[in-house]
């Protein structure tokens, strides 16, 4: 049996684990702080633990983040981190610096099973869910690489579960990782600074609202079921009317008073003026903001990005109707770190052997 990896545990689980061999809850708090606040992976350096415990722990447990395989940086400061998650699989996280904040975009699965038509990760198929250690380990490693600003604050102030995979399809591990992000003894991020992005797994949205409500983003991408069925196939299971109702339910407990609708603008596919008008009526009952993402091409993709004037016209229709809409500035494209380009290296267990790809994310302007 491999030793338990303590990066897999949130505070409650770590407390229970320590209790299993007669250690008090405050030991769990101490170790949690060492691991996540200070990025410590060596029990010997956890100097406020009793010496006997320090010496005993290596025989009982390990602290193992996913190994960092590569890190790349663009001129604008966007960074892509590639992590080894074993068996020839690798996943990516992307750091996006902006004025006043720094956002880390984290992956939750090796590959993705949802097969959205316009997404590089979906094209490469699904391998497996990431463990809690692999999810939180991306933040652990990125914090180590990025460090603190001159004021002593961590450079990473926001986290989005918006990298490879569908977080709500890896529900338990994503929620445990979220709890660590929020825990004052770990990363201490506010609920408003942590966002889950989903293609719309309706029952899991309800569970998230109860288990760990954080900011919510929905990958919408189409104003009607006929089009969304083709772009985001999970729509056939949870169509738009159900999705909008789930958004309203979520908002009852959400830390923000709106959900964010992400909308990838694909030339000639979903970027017509009538699409914008249909979006306005679709989302009338939901307090929301729109984040438009000009489509990011990737090797083998059949779509084209909407031209800037078409993007502008689409956004204008929304704005004139009083809908808040921003256009996400594409960042990290030169290192294939933009939205939908993240592909790591995945051995698809569901179909074929996937081609090697890469990818990452970006963030918004206004
Ligand atoms: N599975 C989750 C999280 C990962 S996707 C979800 O669907 O929300 C992160 C965001 O990137 C989503 O909004 C997704 O639709 C978008 N995206 C995917 N492929 C893209 C592409 N080629 N260009 C631009 N954005 C893309």
The 10s digit of each residue's pLDDT in 2-17 is 999 999 999 999 999 9
pTM for the complete prediction?
0.93
The candidate with the shortest Cα–Cα distance to 302, out of 266, 346, 341, 348, is 266
Q: Which of 112, 119, 339, 363 is catalytic?
A: 339
- pLDDT computed for residue 86 by the predictor: 94
Q: Which of 92, 115, 166, 363 is catalytic?
A: 92
- pLDDT computed for residue 348 by the predictor: 83
Active site residue 92: yes
Distance 217 CA to ligand 1 centre (A): 11
Distance 221 CA to ligand 1 centre (A): 9
Which is more confident, 362 or 262? 262
Q: Which residue, by CA, sits nearest to atom 20 of ligand 1? A: 340
Gyration radius of the chain's alpha carbons: 21
Distance 340 CA to ligand 1 centre (A): 5
- pLDDT computed for residue 317 by the predictor: 98
Any idea what the Cα angle at residue 107 is, between residues 66 and 279, rounded to 5°? 175
- pLDDT computed for residue 19 by the predictor: 98
Distance 120 CA to ligand 1 centre (A): 9
- pLDDT computed for residue 351 by the predictor: 56
Q: Which residue, by CA, sits nearest to atom 17 of ligand 1? A: 340
pLDDT at 358 over 50: no
Average pLDDT over every residue of 258-281: 98
**Atom of ligand 1 at shortest distance to CA of 217?**
8
Q: Which two tokens stand for residue 293?
A: 């993402």
Percent of the chain residues past pLDDT 90, beyond the cut: 84
Please state, rounded to an integer, the average pLDDT across all residues of the chain: 92
25-39, 67-81, 207-221, 346-360: the lowest-pLDDT one: 346-360
Choosing from 262, 333, 341 the residue with most ligand 1 atoms within 8 A of its CB, the one to mutate for a pocket test is 262
44-48, 70-74, 203-207: the lowest-pLDDT one: 70-74
Cα end-to-end distance, the chain, whole Å: 51
Average pLDDT over every residue of 204-213: 98
Active site residue 210: no
- pLDDT computed for residue 268 by the predictor: 98
Q: How far is CA 80 from CA 137, 342, 356, in A?
A: 15, 10, 16
The candidate with the shortest Cα–Cα distance to 247, out of 238, 255, 256, 259, is 259
Residue linked to tokens 């809409």: 325
Tens digit of pLDDT for each residue in 154-196?
999 999 999 999 999 999 999 999 999 999 999 999 999 999 9
Distance 339 CA to ligand 1 centre (A): 6
Q: Which residues line ligand 1 (CB under 6 A)?
A: 116, 118-119, 162, 166, 197-199, 219, 262, 264, 293, 295-296, 339-340
- pLDDT computed for residue 347 by the predictor: 81
Choosing from 111, 219, 362 the residue with most ligand 1 atoms within 8 A of its CB, the one to mutate for a pocket test is 219
Q: For the chain, give the longest Cα–Cα distance.
A: 70
**Which ranges in 72-224 belong to alpha helices (H)?**
120-123, 132-146, 171-182, 202-211
Return the bridge partners of 288, or none.
259
pLDDT at 303 over 80: yes
Q: Which residue, by CA, sits nearest to atom 18 of ligand 1? A: 340
Distance 197 CA to ligand 1 centre (A): 9
- pLDDT computed for residue 364 by the predictor: 31
Q: Which residue, by CA, sits nearest to atom 9 of ligand 1? A: 162
Average pLDDT over every residue of 36-57: 97
Tens digit of pLDDT for each residue in 311-332?
999 999 999 999 999 998 877 7
Q: Which residue, by CA, sits nearest to atom 5 of ligand 1? A: 162
**Atom of ligand 1 at shortest distance to CA of 164?**
4
88-97, 226-235, 357-366: the lowest-pLDDT one: 357-366
């Amino acid at each position: 049996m491999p030793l338990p990896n303590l990066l897999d545990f949130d505070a409650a689980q770590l407390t229970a684990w320590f209790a299993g061999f007669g250690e008090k809850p405050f030991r769990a708090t101490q170790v949690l702080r060492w691991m996540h606040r200070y990025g410590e992976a060596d029990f010997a350096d956890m100097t406020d633990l009793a010496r006997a415990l320090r010496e005993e722990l290596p025989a009982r447990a390990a602290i193992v983040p996913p190994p960092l395989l590569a890190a790349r940086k663009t001129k604008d400061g966007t960074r892509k981190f590639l992590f080894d998650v074993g068996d020839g699989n690798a996943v990516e996280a992307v750091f996006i610096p902006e004025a006043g904040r720094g956002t880390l975009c984290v992956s939750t699965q090796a590959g993705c099973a949802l097969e959205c038509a316009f997404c590089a990760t979906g094209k490469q198929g699904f391998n497996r869910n990431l463990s809690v250690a692999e999810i939180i380990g991306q933040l652990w490693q990125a914090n180590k690489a990025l460090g603190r600003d001159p004021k002593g604050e961590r450079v990473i102030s926001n986290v989005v579960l918006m990298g490879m995979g569908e977080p709500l399809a890896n529900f338990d591990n994503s929620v445990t990782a979220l709890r660590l992000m929020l825990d004052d003894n770990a990363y201490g991020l506010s609920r408003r600074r942590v966002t889950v992005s989903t293609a719309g797994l309706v029952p899991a949205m309800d569970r998230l609202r109860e288990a760990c409500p954080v900011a919510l983003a929905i990958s919408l991408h189409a104003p009607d079921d006929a089009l969304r069925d083709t772009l985001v196939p999970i729509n056939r299971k949870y169509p738009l009317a159900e999705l909008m109702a789930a958004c309203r339910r979520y908002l009852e407990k959400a830390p923000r008073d709106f959900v964010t609708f992400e909308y990838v603008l694909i030339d000639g596919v979903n970027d017509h003026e009538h699409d914008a008008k249909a979006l306005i009526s679709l989302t009338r009952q939901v307090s929301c903001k729109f984040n438009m993402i000009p489509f990011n091409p990737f090797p083998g993709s059949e779509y084209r990005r909407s031209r800037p004037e078409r993007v502008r016209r689409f956004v204008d229709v929304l704005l004139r109707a009083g809908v808040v809409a921003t256009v996400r500035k594409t960042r990290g494209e030169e290192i294939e770190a933009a939205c939908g380009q993240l592909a790591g290296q995945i051995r698809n267990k569901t179909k074929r052997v996937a081609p090697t790809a890469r990818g990452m994310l970006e963030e918004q302007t206004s």
